[in-house]
Structure 1
Amino acid sequence: MTFADTTRLSDIETCPIRPSSQTEARSVLSDLKDIARDNAEVAALLASESVLKDFVVAAFTLSPYLRDTARVTPDFLSLAISKPLLPLIQEAVSAARRASDPSLHEDTGEAAVMARLRQAKRKVAFLTAMADLGRLIDGRQTTRLLSDLAEAAVSAAVDHLLLSAATSGKLKLQDAARPSQGSGLIVLGMGKLGAAELNYSSDIDLVVFFDPQADVVVDRSEATETFARLVRRLIRIMQERTADGYVFRTDLRLRPDPGATPLAISVDSAMLYYEGRGQNWERAAFIKARAIAGDLDAGARFLRELTPFVFRKYLDYAAIADIHSIKRQIHVHKGHGEIAVKGHNIKLGRGGIREIEFFVQTQQLIAGGRMPALRLRATEPMLVELAKAKWIDEATCQELTEAYWFLRDVEHRVQMVRDEQTHLLPDTESELKRIAYMMGFAGTADFSAALVNVLKTVERRYGALFEQEAKLSTDGGNLVFTGQRDDPDTLETLRKLGFQRPEAISQTIRTWHYGRYRATQSVEARERLTELTPDLLRVFGQSKRADEALLRFDHFISGLPAGIQLFSLLGNNPRLLSLIVNIMSSAPRLAEIIAARPHVFDGMLDPTLLAELPTRSYLADRIRGFVAGARHYEDILDRLRIIAAEQRFLIGIRLLTGAIGGRQAARAFTHVADLIVEAALDAVKREIEAAHGTFPGGRVAVVGMGKLGSFELTDGSDVDLILLYDYDGSAATESLGPKPLDATRYYARMTQRLISALSAPTSEGVLYEVDMRLRPSGNKGPVATRIASFAKYQEEEAWTWEHMALTRARVVCGDGDLAKEARSTIRGILDRKRNVVAIAKDVAEMRALIEEEKAPKDIWDLKLIPGGLVDIEFIAQFLILAAPARGVGLPEQALPTAEVLSLVAGGQMDVNDVGTLEQALRLYTEISQIVRLCIDGPFDPKEAPAGLIDLVCRAGDSPDLRTLESEIRRLAKAVRRIFQATITG
């Protein structure tokens, strides 16, 4: 069926999909009945026995995202089942494009623009998915519509930001009615956006430049900062999650040297970079580049000027090695094993979408300089042109085109399920069946057979291309440097040094000396690295799993902006070299951090690092000094992200080397979090006051809960927060500012801004994931709580588990008087004399519920095992709640669990039992801190790096894992006995 303006879902003659199960179908029908009460179109649908009804039910069973969208916005469903779809989608795209147009909208504030864009995104996503699943459109049209939406949304946001900058006096625009025209601001869509091939839940890759010759910046010296700030706001507009969702996650890492450059770069600087240091992977990226927003004429001029960099005049076979090496790196770091269906990566896996894209782009790089017809952006048209030019035969063109759109359809459906940016097929039969049904197959067997056939076809064609081009370039000497045969003597030496895969190591080192990374581009850097290589290989070879460690080091230097200083330091500093090897061989998580953010490595160059203890005053001085130079809100938050990442990393290094223990690390990680939350709150308050004024008598304090409250954070921990406030209700009912708000909205907005400041991802990463579920009434309650309401809730409504949580509540920052009042309130609640038997019963029931719902995976799940951390924490919390009734004094504020035990267990427990608990807690803490530092996810001795196993044994003061495991079992058994005697006995 062709997709015409009049095409409706009701035109479907046979249902192309089937429901995931009859149980799910009944559940969907129940939801539709709820919607139908207020919706005539849905009521009519339910009353019918039609193909359309079968389709809607099936679609909602297969995609929880579509089902939830219909529940939240029933009007979308009404439109989908009653109107032609293409006009609706195009209308929503147009609405996105006009979202910031002041001639159409009275409110053009940022919040209003963000809301309109998010509403348009949800509408397009819903209607497009329904049309796609109904086979009214195919992958070509789906990707085009999604790309149109992204382009429209970015354009509207850019227009809004340019007008905003003009209003604030930063820019002088040529035409306020058309802000982007002549602005010199160039927004390029890269990757799938540039090629108009976006996938369903795609990120968008942008690169932003500005032309100083446009002369729109009032103060030319501030041009870079002005446009960089504008881009930061653009990212926020596009990807910040609000009540309306988000528009598109936005990535700007394809700009020149992203680790060292601002978010917006002048065109002159960009051209100097590309002409002098541009890499083949950047040439490949710019094949798809397209001006999508801002000054489109300036964008077109820039891309024309860049053409000689992207498409060279000679046949460039040297590009083959680079492109293929990129593919190999993806295999190494993204997981690329044998072709399988469950868990297979449709994009990056063997035979996946990326291989088709590389197949095309490689030949464009080779021949595009001489053949302008090979400079198209989109994949399918390029396959056609390659066939016309006789670079590939018709059969290859046909096979890869069909394979490409089949895989794109699979990709769309994987993402439609829950609106997740994933390319992994499910690894369970039930979830895989969902994808098979969405693809129109009768079951997983048929789907799997078809998919494997496609993947093998792609793999065969991709492999043949690179084999063929390697032969073509064998006479070219250094043109195939990465493909030269290994020297047998070198391989033997690498084996003797301790490497298991000498061929791979040889390949990696040749990559360094080829200058492919920024860190190895200069002759001087390569000379230093050449001198250092023997020592590197020797030290890496001494570590267990030496190959793994060296490949992580390769990943690290691949992200460095420069290498001369590092290679010189490593050559002259054996301690630093050993430390690097220690990280690479035992701590994949730390290795990934320094690979992604090389700046954190700078602190390791401080010779006093391991001698200085990370006390609160030490950390406060460094954080305060680093943030002091920030000029505006976004700059403060970026600096907080940078310094927090650096200091957490350096605390981790001290822990890794044994300079501090687990308890010291926990307290230091908590100090960093306290200081960062305090600085973020101060910045947020200034922003709120600038927009909405102050509140008479207004006061705010942040309470840390959980491990933040008890000084027990690990690296990577979430932070549990409650925001308390108070104000003088007799003085005013609204804030005193240009946009006044009542108290509830004022402090709710402050809380939301604080959460966003801490947890919103930016180019500098995320500060902390924030959890506010421990506030009164949990997720159902307001995000900010007035102190009187907090006290009343805790006194009259809170459950035992909430009072247990209160034992770890600590005021982190805020107004001094309110902090004092909050401490007094918390202390007053905890000082109450309770029915000890009833409290014990509640604690025992809660522990039993946790055991039922979250069973430990193995003995290394130290938190959840019987006799593990939860048992010890529950004992400590119970003792605090029971202490007043037993005449035992309480500490002044929340403390680490170990200190709680020593302070409140006296008179309540046997002294030997307290000693056992403290011994177990010490062991669990030391191991947990090391594991959380070094890896993401649970500790599995079979999968863990060998260096980590050594660190875990060191943390547990045991000669080997078997001895340590025995000690854990002994202590866990003892702790469980004490728990039962204390709580249930």
Structure 2
Amino acid sequence: MWPDADWPAPADKRAAELFTQDMLALAQEAGIAESVMIQPGARELLACLGGNSPYLADLAREDVLAFAALLEQGPDICVQDAFATCAEFDTTSGRECVAAFLRHTKKRIAFICAVADLGGFWSLEEVTHALSRLADTALDLAVRHLLWCAFQAGQLALPNPEQPAQGCGFVILAMGKLGARELNFSSDIDLMVLYDPTAYPQSDTVRRVFVRMTSDLVSLMEARDANGYVFRTDLRLRPDPSSTPPAVTVQAATLYYESLGQTWERAAMTKARPVAGDLTLGRRFLAAIRPFIWRRHLDFALIDDLHDMKARIDRYRKAGRTDLSTLPDAVLADPSASIEWLLGHNLKLGQGGIREIEFIAQAMQLVWGGREPALRDKTTFGALKKLVGSGRLPREEAEVLARTYRFLRDAEHRLQMRADHQTHSLPETREGFEAFAIFMNYPDAEVLALDMLPRMRKARRIFERHFVLHSAQPEEVEGSVLVPGPEDGQTAELLQKHGFPPEQVEEATQVLTRWRGNGLRALRSERAHALLRVLLPTLLASFGARSNPLACLRRFDALLARQHAGVQLLSLFERNPALVDRIANIFDASVFLADYLADKPSALEGLLESEPEEGRTVVARLQHLAEEMADVEELVTALRPLLRGEEFRLSVALLEGRMTENEAEKQRTVLADTIITIVKHAVEVEHTRRYGHVPGGGMAIVALGKAGSREMMPRSDLDLLMVFDHPEDVQASEVPQADTKAERPLFSALRSVGVAQYYTRLAHAFIAALTAPGPEGPLYAVDMRLRPSGAAGPVAVSRPAFLRYHTESAWTWECMALTRARIVAAPVELKRVLRQDLEAILDGRLRAQPASRATLLKDACAMRARLARDLPASSVWDVKRRLGGLIDVEFIAQIYQLIGANGAVRDVSTRLALGRLEKAGLLGAEDAQFLKQAELFWRQLQAVLRLLCGATPPVDLERDLASASLNVLLKAMKLETLPDLIEKANILARDVHAVFARLVGPVE
């Protein structure tokens, strides 16, 4: 294996020669065959170690037998053997024995990692993973030893002394590089130590034991003796380190993060993972603080927080150093100037360094990871890859960052390998830099500098593109006002300059004057005023370019007034300046969407969603949320903003002409189906905990209406039907038998209920979850009136009762409604039999005497006449109810599907059903094509009017719609003028009404 290695040449050739001689002599004394030490590649390795790293050379001298084994077996086998030895170690040994074993193991594995790194046998990820595994193992051994000692001393009554860590109530969380399994060659380890005092009866005694144990752990890890040390440890990432003991209770830590946690602590906790002690306790803690780490709303304000942190580092590190991002190309082409700039530069904290790349990945994860759990990855490489996959980071940028990160981490390892110092700074002398370049396997310092500096400048520029602070600093706005006062006339001049017409200036001035003070809750912080001050010219210019600038300004004011803190919203606009124009267009064109946004501000996040493969992305995010949430209430709370954002995105895409109504309807329905499915599952899990389960039973959710036909519009209700089934011999739910040996029976809260009561309660709980009120309303409004017997019937109906009703009592219109029935969520077997039931009902096979064609047509005609009488159209633009409108087309499709009495002529979609009816000969080709065109026209018109005006149709388009709204409507309908639209709608209604009269019957 060694001949394939490309070992760095020795920087100090004399030291390399002396080391080689020493090792040959030591090998001879140890009885190692000369062939081992002079095999191909071995001499080059000896020269590399001796001529570049005094630390590694000393490790090789200390254990020449291990070195020989490494030469013979290679790093993979040797590291496996080392970890196998750890697994067999007896942690009940004395403290000195444990300390010696850990120190020897550290040196052995660190040396293997260094050689594998230098020879290119392991990738950077493999090296850092092995070093992290070493730290994990050392902590695990040390904690188990300390727990056993406390047990032997009578200080702890461990639940399982044979496996002391199990349920011990004491856990070590790895943070930072160790948490991400990216440990440096000579890194300290960031730890957080937590314990649960409720696991033991005497909490005060336990506190002293665990605090003392933490101190012993630190000493065991970092105290230096004749064998060296294991790892330097840092406990400063624990909550409020200046005033808390080394070990903190999980209760105190949870309370701290929920109430006082800061942005940098959120970033730190993204990498936390339990590594030693009670791992279950650690996982429960991280699950409890997940909402603190991963915010459900988009939080662009945190970028400024992280930027401020990085700026403070820059001010400390940048003294006397030219800004890397503005470094001229001439410097990068000049080897001498490049070296001069690099001398003493900190590869971790400096410009273009490791920390900046990590900042980019972490910040973008924190912004998006709450809504997209798939983005959460503790490693930097993993985070960059996932950000690219989700469209949050350009692939070209991610590739530059990943290459630079790998390069800098390799360089960091070389710096640390030399003397086992925790350093990140390049040598400060040219001689030192020359030696470092050779250790990096470059021919000389000039070649290294010409390669290193351009890489770092690219990374720095990417960092600045994402983290440049656009807004004014707080000190720049302190004591200043947002806009000049109205009394000096400058506000009017400012507004007119940005396109506000003179007649709107007075009212617009009143809005801006209100923004100057602290009247708005969103503008009570200096930071919010700073952001708004910078954004104001962009906002006014964008609003002034619209048809009604004052309306846009008022609607933005309404949006701002609904914010608890304006920093979040204003930061979002600052980080996404293109969003201002899109919002201005929406405010100008759609009163409905403007009001929707003001009522549901979280919907704005939908405009930041990436378009490619969005349907699958949203479904994946919904499923991730379902896996994370502990209970139904938490799940519903998390789903609301995601649903609002996605609904808004689809509406705006339709408004902007980037999506057809068919595409939007399909995505809305996929969204609703997924939410129905995961909410049903969550409710069932909770219901089972309370009432047990019905053996062989299950409940189906059947969608009807627009949800059933996959034609959901903005703000569509869910027309639902719930059917349950169970074996005839099962009369009640079953609950597991309580564990009588346990102190508290596991199932003491469960109680059995009758099957009908069981599913009725389950149905009520499901509907309650979908319709639960929140600050921005429920997930969906639900309409159950299409169930058997309507509002008078049970909320969930048994399958036999469902079949009996449709055999004996159902009206024709109820069968018509079932043509759009679609089973959304149900157990596999129930879904299968219920599909057969629906087919039988629609085929008329359940009735002794199926209704004749004449009867069906007469019933449909009567039902249409009743609707026209009881629920007449509110205006000619009520395109659903007007005679000749959408209902007429749908009625024709539905009644002819019942006449056809065959699955081949049915489809839940009206347009597809019309095609099947044509193919079967039940509708003539001319009629079918006309009805499909009419259905599409009415559905498109209804959808656009819903976007522009909301659920209530307009009465007079010219009076009720602003000019921008009217333009959107005409463009969507592909017509030139309003008279053209009126004429086309009237002619179409007349012709559809005539076809209805001919195919179904006259509506009296």
TM-score (norm 1): 0.50
- For normalisation by structure 2, the TM-score amounts to 0.49
